[in-house]
Structure 1
Amino acid sequence: MKIFSTRSEIQQYLASLNGKTVGFVPTLGALHRGHISLIEQAKAGNDVVVCSIFVNPTQFTDPKDLENYPRPIATDISKLEAAECDILFHPPVSEIYDDNEHWHLNIGPLEFLLEGEFRPGHYQGVTQVVYKLLDIVKPTRLYLGQKDYQQFMVISRMVELLKIPVQLVMCPIEREPGGLAMSSRNIHLTADDRQHSLILSKTLNWLKANFDVNKIFQLEQDAMAMLQSEPGVEPEYIEIADGKTLLPADESSTSIIALTAARVGKTRLIDNVVIR
């Protein structure tokens, strides 16, 4: 695996590939099985796979969260090599951002719903860094996980607005044996937290099994009560949304998704399930 830390080096190398297709997996590092599944999908569909590891400061709304974000780069490199990733782009912050940069992209209501409400400014930081990374790598396809469903929609909107020539691929959620969605943040969970966190996927699966479009409000109330009754869990939201807009679902929604976020102990987790 080739490792680059500057934009000029990676661009020069990618330019020498003579039109080979490039699959790109952008990450914050602290890689787990979910990330590796994205690398595998990218390998299956492209000639070359690029993974980036960059803990992007502009998408963290809490400075403590940024400071505490795990950065096990040596372990990450081993995992990428085992997965036969071709290229790692691991730049310092100074390589990505100049001083006093300004960025704002109008992505509409998507910015303020769900995650946007609880993490104001988060999606501006996400679009800012993904735009920069796409501009550097210029991939054929971009691979993102379903766990960050809203992020996938935000990036899709950005790609559409800015007419970026890349194909987006959403990859399924990888789960731990009990059902917990894999996340880099899971390492912060205590043994008790891990047990309590299983209520997220259980509640989402209950919603899917009991879904009735005429009872959405009641289902959301019951699901919230389920989350609240679990010790050590502080739910922020659980919503049944239109899969195309993330506005509340109704009988006209052709695609429906249930999404949740909760603090389990000191760790904030998100999860979702496609209902239809």
Structure 2
Amino acid sequence: MDVIVAGSRAELDEARAALGIGARWGDRDGRTLALVPTMGALHEGHLSLIRLAKEHADHVAVSIFVNPLQFGPNEDFSRYPRTFEADVAACRTEGVDIVFAPSAEEMYPPDRQVSVSAGHMGTIVEGAFRPGHFDGVLTVVLKLFNLVRPSVAIFGQKDAQQLAMIRRMVADLDVPVRIIGAPIVREPDGLALSSRNRYLSPDEREIALALSRALHEGAGHRTPWEIVAATRQVLDAAPLTVDYVVLADPATFAEVADDHVGEAVLAVAARVGTTRLIDNVIVTLP
């Protein structure tokens, strides 16, 4: 069966029915649906999410929607890469069952008034540099969950704070979707795959490798202070602008205390030319 492209709620419901899933959340007669939410411009990182989704459900839906609510007034919404035909072709090759590609008008009617608030967690680390960003992320993700009604949803670890916040929303609002985090996919030289990498010139791409080098250096140390200091030292030596270096609790994204034991997320954000990049690595503190 070829991939079904749905642009509206009605077409999405028809696609679910064609797969024998029905209108309810989760499954019917044992048939399960996984959702991979994306903003398009698919790369190997996205395809790895699709492959993981196929391991956890009978059918896979991929959403392609550049969400205006999560972009600030000076961010790159208008120039964010849009490669819809290539994205659908990639989904077809990977055996995706449904591509849900709604318009902004379909997702956000003009009389819409209610949005999701990310709370305090949405104002720290990445949220401190992108006010309102996580409100927009959680609003669109909740809407996608309500429309697609999957059993499971797959998100990449590269957006580690986003992953933590979606898990928090699902728990706090009793959303019946299991959230699975997928490992970061990197180029052979260590650069984390991102749709925004295509903005980088060859020289800027070389500079951007400082992010993964810095994380590798920081992860080799044993205390929070040493980890953060070593990471920042590498970044400060590169011709880029650092937004933050933080060692955070994976569940809350609060900075860990000096006596923290167990897993933590070492996260960085920096601007290379006009392109803002994020990256992270999980470290274990003894």
TM-score bracket relative to the smaller structure: over 0.9
Q: Secondary structure at the match of 1:180?
A: coil
Q: Secondary structure at the match of 1:128?
A: helix
Q: 2: CA distance between counterparts of 1:71 and 1:201? A: 26
Residue 25 of structure 1, CA deviation: 0.2
Q: 1: CA distance between counterparts of 2:276 and 2:260? A: 32
- 2:268 corresponds to which letter in structure 1? T
**When the two structures are superposed, what TM-score results if normalisation uses the length of structure 1?**
0.94
Residue 220 of structure 1, CA deviation: 1.9
1:180 aligns with 2:187: no
Residue 28 of structure 1, CA deviation: 0.3
Which stretch shifts more, 146-155 or 17-26? Answer: 17-26
Residue 101 of structure 1, CA deviation: 2.2
Q: 1: CA distance between counterparts of 2:132 and 2:261? A: 28
**When the two structures are superposed, what TM-score results if normalisation uses the length of structure 2?**
0.91
Q: What's 2:234 paired with? A: 226
> Structure 1 residue runs of 4+, over 6 Å off?
none
User: Could you give the per-residue CA deviations for residues 220-253 of structure 1, whole angstroms, max 9, x where no partner exists?
Assistant: 234223212112x111001111222211113244
For structure 2, which runs of at least 5 residues remain unmatched after alignment?
22-27
Q: How many equivalent pairs are there?
A: 272
User: Could you give the per-residue CA deviations for residues 28-81 of structure 1, whole angstroms, max 9, x where no partner exists?
Assistant: 000000000000011122111000100010000135510010001111111111
1:169 aligns with 2:180: yes
Match of 1:37 among 41, 48, 54: 48
Q: What's 1:6 paired with? A: 8
Q: 1: CA distance between counterparts of 2:153 and 2:67? A: 18
Q: 1: CA distance between counterparts of 2:261 and 2:62? A: 35
Alignment of 1:146-161 (within 5 A): 146-161=157-172
Answer whether contact 1:143 1:169 (CA < 8 A) is retained.
yes
Answer whether contact 2:39 2:67 (CA < 8 A) is retained.
yes
For structure 1, which runs of at least 5 residues remain unmatched after alignment?
none
Residue 106 of structure 1, CA deviation: 4.3
Q: 2: CA distance between counterparts of 1:245 and 1:70? A: 31
Q: 2: CA distance between counterparts of 1:170 and 1:219? A: 24
Match of 2:251 among 244, 250, 260: 244
RMSD, matched Cα: 1.4
Residue 181 of structure 1, CA deviation: 0.4
Q: What's 2:273 paired with? A: 265
Answer whether contact 2:220 2:227 (CA < 8 A) is retained.
no
User: Could you give the per-residue CA deviations for residues 4-44 of structure 1, whole angstroms, max 9, x where no partner exists?
Assistant: 10011112331451421001001000000000000001112
Residue 124 of structure 1, CA deviation: 0.3
Q: 2: CA distance between counterparts of 1:234 and 1:228? A: 8
Answer whether contact 1:244 1:255 (CA < 8 A) is retained.
no
Answer whether contact 1:242 1:253 (CA < 8 A) is retained.
no
Q: 1: CA distance between counterparts of 2:154 and 2:241? A: 31
Which stretch shifts more, 265-274 or 96-105? Answer: 96-105
Q: Secondary structure at the match of 1:68?
A: coil
User: Could you give the per-residue CA deviations for residues 69-104 of structure 1, whole angstroms, max 9, x where no partner exists?
Assistant: 000111111111111111101111111001142334
Q: What's 2:99 paired with? A: 88
Answer whether contact 2:15 2:98 (CA < 8 A) is retained.
no
Q: Secondary structure at the match of 2:135?
A: helix
Which stretch shifts more, 38-47 or 103-112? Answer: 103-112
Answer whether contact 2:164 2:250 (CA < 8 A) is retained.
no
1:132 aligns with 2:143: yes
Match of 1:207 among 174, 194, 218: 218
Identity %: 39
